[in-house]
């Protein structure tokens, strides 16, 4: 523990300039913390996967005494139904508006192409008359 206490260790060893060593130690500590956080995240993901595998195993094993929670058959509340209906309507409206805007853009591009074609035909017919 004494080497960790700088104000005791420095006079014993005789090191006066520790700025470079401290910077390196700080960078190493940051890297170690990042590695620790990543390790924790990996462990959580593995745990979630294991729980899913156990649930699937229990469901396929055919044991009637094992209770596996399944919320798939639960009926939504009135508020949930209303929110679902409103969200569905909004998504449909947004999709239709995007489709109509795309269609309008395509029509404008076609009109522009037709206009360019007419202008080029007109310029060709004028150049032939001369």
Task: Look at residue 61 and tell me whether its pLDDT is greater than 90.
Answer: no
Contact 2, 9 (CB under 8 A): yes
Please report the pLDDT score of residue 76 as a whole number.
82
Task: Look at residue 17 and tell me whether its pLDDT is greater than 60.
Answer: no
**Closest alpha carbon to 3 in 20, 23, 33, 25:** 25
**Residue 114 pLDDT level (bands cut at 50, 70, 90):** very high
Task: Look at residue 99 and tell me whether its pLDDT is greater than 90.
Answer: yes
Average pLDDT over residues 86-113: 95
**Residue 97 pLDDT level (bands cut at 50, 70, 90):** very high
**Closest alpha carbon to 52 in 38, 72, 68:** 68
Average pLDDT over residues 76-84: 90
Residue scoring higher pLDDT (79 or 74): 79
Please report the pLDDT score of residue 3 as a whole number.
59
Task: Look at residue 22 and tell me whether its pLDDT is greater than 60.
Answer: yes
Please report the pLDDT score of residue 49 as a whole number.
87
Please report the pLDDT score of residue 52 as a whole number.
87
Cα 1 from Cα 6, distance rounded (Å): 10
Please give the angle made by the CA atoms of 125, 108 and 101, to the nearest 5 degrees. Answer: 170
H/E segment holding residue 109: helix 78-129
Task: Look at residue 65 and tell me whether its pLDDT is greater than 80.
Answer: no
Task: Look at residue 128 and tell me whether its pLDDT is greater than 60.
Answer: yes
């Amino acid at each position: 523990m004494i080497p960790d206490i700088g104000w005791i260790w420095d006079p014993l060893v005789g090191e006066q300039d520790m700025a470079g060593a401290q910077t390196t130690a700080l960078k190493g500590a940051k890297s170690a913390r990042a590695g620790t956080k990543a390790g924790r995240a990996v462990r959580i993901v593995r745990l979630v996967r294991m729980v899913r595998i156990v649930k699937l195993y229990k469901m396929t094993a055919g044991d009637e005494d094992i209770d596996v929670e399944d919320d798939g058959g639960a009926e939504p509340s009135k508020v949930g139904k209303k929110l679902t209906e409103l969200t569905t309507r909004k998504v449909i409206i947004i999709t239709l508006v995007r489709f109509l805007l795309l269609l309008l853009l395509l029509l404008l591009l076609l009109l522009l192409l037709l206009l360019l074609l007419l202008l080029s035909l007109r310029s060709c017919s004028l150049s032939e008359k001369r």
